[in-house]
């Protein structure tokens, strides 16, 4: 199984240069679904930001989707971002644009030019998240669960090899959370997309078991509690 994420002996820093994780090493394989858990402020979000190059990797080795994080800068970070999908707790949809326009914005920003191909891709992802009939709806007309489904559609629109999800069910009720997790897992399996999902929702871990990376004492531990090498 090819590795989509390879992190070796890395230190992770917050935006203010505070070190939050030290000497961490882990791999995530193609199509693998993995949870990232830990207390608030433990470094989960900083790790995710490092993986999608919003924060620099200052020490250690990191490779995501075949790209060495040490080689990235503002001019070429798009090469990594095209291979990723990102889902946040806050939906971050463009509130002045309808669902189709939100998805089209991502396609345009990542280099798509053919209108027919863009329309076809938008149709496909809306079918996959079960919201074909909401194509012309504004975000404020959608429920929280529907908005998160659009966020997932947006994250998957470029057929990413990796989906990074930061508390994707944090603003949802338990039933809707289950629906969103089921959708993410099914789509990841269908497309062989690796998923790293940071969550505080331990109910989800019980209902949808998968490999767990635990942030504890500035280190990454596996789900049995032993350090991953």
Residue in 188, 191, 151 with CA at minimum distance from that of residue 170: 151
Alpha carbon distances (Å) from 12 to 49, 71, 74, 139, 158: 10, 17, 19, 35, 28
Domains in the chain (CATH in brackets) are 1-83+160-229 (3.40.50.300), 94-158 (no CATH)
Residue in 119, 117, 114 with CA at minimum distance from that of residue 132: 119
Q: pLDDT tens-digit profile of 109-137? A: 888 899 999 999 999 999 999 999 999 99
Q: pLDDT tens-digit profile of 32-51? A: 999 999 988 889 999 999 99
| Average of per-residue pLDDT across 172-198 | 91
- Locate 40 and state its tokens: 């608030």
Count of alpha carbons within 13 Å of 191, Cβ hemisphere only? 22
Helix (H, G, I), strand (E, B) or coil at 169: coil
């Amino acid at each position: 199984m090819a590795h989509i994420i390879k992190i070796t002996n890395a230190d992770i820093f917050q935006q203010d240069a505070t070190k939050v994780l030290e000497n961490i090493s882990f791999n995530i394989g193609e199509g693998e679904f993995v949870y990232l858990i830990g207390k608030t402020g433990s470094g989960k979000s900083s790790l995710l930001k490092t993986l999608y190059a919003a924060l620099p990797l200052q020490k250690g080795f990191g490779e995501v989707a075949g790209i060495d994080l040490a080689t990235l800068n503002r001019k070429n970070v798009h090469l990594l971002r095209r291979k990723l999908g990102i889902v946040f707790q806050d939906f971050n949809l463009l509130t002045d644009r309808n669902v189709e326009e939100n998805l089209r914005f991502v396609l345009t920003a990542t280099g798509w030019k053919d209108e027919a191909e863009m329309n076809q891709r938008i149709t496909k992802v809306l079918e996959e998240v079960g919201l074909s009939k909401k194509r012309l709806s504004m975000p404020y007309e959608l429920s929280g669960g529907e908005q998160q489904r659009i966020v997932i559609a947006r994250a998957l629109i470029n057929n990413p090899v990796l989906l990074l999800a930061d508390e994707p069910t944090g603003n949802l009720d338990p039933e809707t959370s289950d629906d969103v997790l089921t959708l993410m897992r099914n789509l990841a399996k269908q497309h062989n997309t690796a998923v790293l999902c940071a969550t505080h929702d331990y109910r989800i871990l019980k209902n949808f078991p998968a490999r767990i990376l635990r942030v504890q004492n500035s280190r990454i531990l596996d789900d049995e509690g032993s350090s991953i090498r």
